[in-house]
């Protein structure tokens, strides 16, 4: 990407969703990327890979699904929920979490520093699940307009990340947020109501909701 703030149009992405290679994690670069629905997924060496997949995996908050077992966990107050109380710890735990079919992590030192800066500037937010005083699950993402762009989650206790996600989505809906971008398909989030939509539909939603 020759101009660090000049992303190609989303329709230029290849079949894997890869749109551009290069640039940096500067605040302005990241904000412009998210406003266009572009996100960094992983890096190879010093190169940053930017993605805009088709179809797109999203959750409409009003379509959130809460299973009977999760309803019991919510009703029993198994975990305690908080927002923005431990952002650096959440991203650190997401970085070290072991994931199936992923030998490493895309959360590098540079990435972690950049998103902590986004948090300090008020763009990034975390949702936490606590068991007593121990952080046992959570997720983080970027909030722009009426879209929450989810980035990553972790869980050290069963169902803790689902708990944090459910509580966050309920809070987002109360505050008028109309879309949660989940980026890439996962059965975990599909069970909570996330769905695949065509890129064109996502771009239409993006244009309206980011502006708000």
Of 182, 129, 180, 123, the residue nearest 158 (C-alpha)? 129
Which among 66, 180, 176, 68 is positioned nearest to 127, based on CA atoms? 180
Return the pLDDT at 43.
61
pTM: 0.93
Taking 50 as the threshold, does the pLDDT of residue 91 lie above it?
yes
Contact of 130 with 160, CB cutoff 8 Å: no
Average pLDDT, the chain: 92
User: How far is Cα 175 from Cα 3, in angstroms, rounded to an integer?
Assistant: 36
- Measured from the Cβ of residue 77, the count of other Cβ atoms closer than 10 Å reads 8
Tell me the domains of the chain and their CATH numbers: 10-51 (no CATH), 56-211 (3.40.630.70)
| Residue 2 in tokens | 């020759």
122-143 pLDDT, tens digit per residue, is: 999 999 999 999 999 999 999 9
Least confident of 29-43, 98-112, 144-158: 98-112
């Amino acid at each position: 990407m020759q101009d660090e703030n000049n992303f190609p149009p989303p329709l230029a992405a290849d079949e894997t969703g890869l749109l551009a290679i290069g640039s940096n994690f500067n605040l302005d670069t990241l904000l412009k990327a998210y406003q266009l629905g572009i996100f960094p997924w992983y890096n190879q060496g010093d190169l940053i890979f930017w993605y805009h997949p088709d179809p797109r995996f999203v959750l409409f908050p009003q379509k959130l699904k809460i299973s009977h077992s999760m309803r019991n966990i919510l009703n029993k107050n198994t975990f305690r929920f908080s927002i923005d109380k431990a952002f650096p710890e959440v991203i650190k735990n997401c970085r070290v979490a072991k994931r199936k079919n992923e030998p490493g992590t895309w959360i590098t030192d540079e990435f972690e520093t950049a998103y902590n800066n986004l948090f300090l500037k008020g763009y990034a937010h975390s949702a936490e699940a606590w068991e007593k005083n121990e952080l046992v699950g959570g997720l983080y993402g970027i909030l722009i307009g009426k879209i929450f762009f989810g980035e990553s989650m972790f869980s050290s206790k069963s169902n803790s990340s689902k708990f944090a996600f459910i509580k966050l989505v309920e809070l987002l809906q109360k505050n008028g947020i109309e879309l949660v971008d989940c980026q890439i398909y996962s059965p975990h989030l599909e069970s909570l109501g996330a769905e695949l939509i065509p890129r064109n539909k996502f771009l239409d939603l993006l244009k309206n909701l980011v502006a708000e």
